[in-house]
Amino acid sequence: MSFNLFLIQFVFFACMFMLFQATRMPRGWLFVTVLVLGILSVSYVLVPSEAGWISAVTWGLLVLVPLMGYAQINHLVAQERYSLAHRLAWILRWLHPADGLLEYPDILKAQALAQKGDLEMARQIFKRYQSVTTPVGRMATALLYRLDANWDDLLRWLTIHVSPRQLLKDAGLAALYARSLGETGDLNGLLQAVDQFEQRFGRTGNHTSLNLVRLYALAFCGQTSQVQVLLDRALSIYPDRTRQFWMATAEMAAGHTAIARQHLLALRNRCDAMQRPAIDWRLSHPCAHPEVTLTDSSRQILAQIEVTIQQEARYGSRAFLRATTRPYATYTLIAANLLVFALETIAGGSEDLVVLYRLGALVPGNVLAGEWWRILNALFLHAGILHLIANMVGLYFFGMLVESALGSRKFLLGYFFSGIGSMLVVTALALHANLLDQTTVGASGAIMGLLGIEAAILLKGWRQERARVAAERFRLILTVAVLQFISDVLNPQVSLVGHTSGLLLGFAVGWILFKPGEGRSKGKQESPFSSLP
C-alpha cells in the first residue's frame, strides 16, 4: 500500500468514526468532519496522487490539533492552571470558531484573574458576557455567582432561567447546579440530579463532568472513603488544595466537624483568592446531616454511585487505570517487534520477500513441510514501516487495556493464542485453496485478538454485572471492528482471514480467561490530607 493511499484510508475512517459518535459531539465539530470528507472527495477526483496529503493536512489542522489542544485545555482547567489554559485557548479558537470557542479564552482569563486576586476585573469580564440566551452567557453568569460562593442565588438563577434540557446539554452548568444543591443542603435534590446526569453524560461519554457531580454527591453525603477513591483515581488530576477541600467537606458531612474545620482553616491560610470564598462558606454553613435528610430512594442512588465507580474502575478508560501496575508485557512485546524490524532492515530491507522468508515469514507450504517455527516467527515480522507503526499503535492501546484486566500471564496467553491460532487458520485455508506459496507476516492477528479479548471482557461485564460503562465501550469496540473489517476488504494485501480469525479466537479466549472482579487493581491510596500540617 502506498503512503498516499494509507493517508486516504486513515482520514476517511477517522472521519467516519467521528460521525458514528455524532450524538456526543458539538455541531461545529460535525461540520468540520463533513468538510474534511468533502475535501478528501474533491481532491481524490482532481489530484488522486496528492489526495492523501491534502486531506491529512486538513484533518490534522481542523480536527486533530483542536482535539488535542482542547483536551490539554480541559486538563489545565482541572488543574486550575487558568492562565496557561487561557493562552492556549486564545490560539486554538481561530481553528475552531464554532460552539462558543471564540469567547472561551476570555472566560478562562477571568478565572485566572480571580485566582490571582483581581476579583473586580474578573467580575467585569463575566458581566460583559452575562446572558441567559447563549451557552457562554449562561456560564459567565453562573461563574459570577460562584466567584463569591453565592450558592443560594446561583441555585435560584439556574432554577428560573435554565431549563432542565439546557442543563443536560451543558456539563459545566450541570456541575454547578449539582454543587449548588449540595451547598444549600438539598441532598435529595442533588442525588436526583446526579441520577439524571448519570443517564445523560454516561451516554455522551462526558465522564469528567459525571465524576465531578458524583464527587459532590459523595462529599455532601459524607462518604469519605468513596470520595478518597474518586479523588485518587478518576479525579487524581485535581490539585492538592481542591482534593483537600472536598475531603474536608466529606468529613464535615460525616459528622467529623472538628477535624474538618481544622483542615479547612489550615487550607484557608495557603489557598488562592478564588477558593477562599468557598472555604468561608463551608465554615459558616455546616453541611446537612445525610443520615437525617436522605430518603430511601436517595440512599439507593448513593449506593448505585458506589457500584458504578467500581465498575468503571474495571471496564472504563485509561483515566481509571492510572493506579494499576505498568503493562510491562505489552512494552516487552513492542520492544521485541522493534528489535526484529531492525534485524530486517540490517538483513536487506523489511519489504524484501527474500529477507522476510529467511527470517521466518509464514509460508504454508514450508509450515506443512515441518517448519512450524514460522508460525511464531511471522508474528514479529513486518513488511514496511507503515505496517509496523499501525500494529504497534494497536498493540500499545489494546495491550494496556487487556493486560490491566487479565494480568501479564493471561495477557500473553491470549496474545499468543490469538496470533498463533490466526496463523494456523491462514495455513489451513491456504492448503484448502492450494495457495501454499503465499507469504504472511505481522502481529495483526494477535492484535485483533486483543480487540476480541477486550470485547469479551466488556460483554461479560455487561451480562454479569449490568455495568453500563461496559456496554458503552463494547459498542465502541464493535465500531472499531466494523471499520477494520471494511478496511481489510478494501485492501487485498491485508489478510482478512488472519484478522477475522484472530478477532474470534481472542473473543473466545477472553471469555474464558476473564473473571469479573479480577484485574485492574486499585493500587495504593494516599490520603488527600497527607500534605496538610
- Catalytic residues, by residue number, are 444, 499
By residue count, the chain amounts to 533
Is-contact 274 147, C-beta < 8 A?
A: yes
Task: Please enumerate in sequence order all residues whose Cβ is within 8 A of that of 512, keeping only pairs 6 or more positions apart, or say none.
Answer: none
**Coil, helix or strand at residue 319:** helix
Is-contact 6 52, C-beta < 8 A?
A: yes
CA-based end-to-end distance of the chain: 62
Nearest CA among 131, 81, 72 for reference residue 103? 131
For every residue of 215-272, DSSP letters joined together read HHHHHHTT-HHHHHHHHHTTTTTS-HHHHHHHHHHHHHHTT-HHHHHHHHHHHHTTS-
Q: Which three cell numbers stand for residue 429?
A: 485455508
Which residue, chain included where needed, has cell 479466537?
Answer: 505
List residues bridging with 440 in a β-sheet. 362
For every residue of 194-205, DSSP letters joined together read HHHHHHHHHHHT
Is-contact 474 462, C-beta < 8 A?
A: yes
User: Cα 222 vs. chain centroid, distance in angstroms?
Assistant: 28
Torsions phi, psi of 440, nearest 5? Answer: -130, 130
CA–CA gap between residue 468 and residue 432 (Å, rounded): 43
Helices (H) and strands (E) in the chain, counts: 28, 0
Q: Which three cell numbers stand for residue 125?
A: 469580564
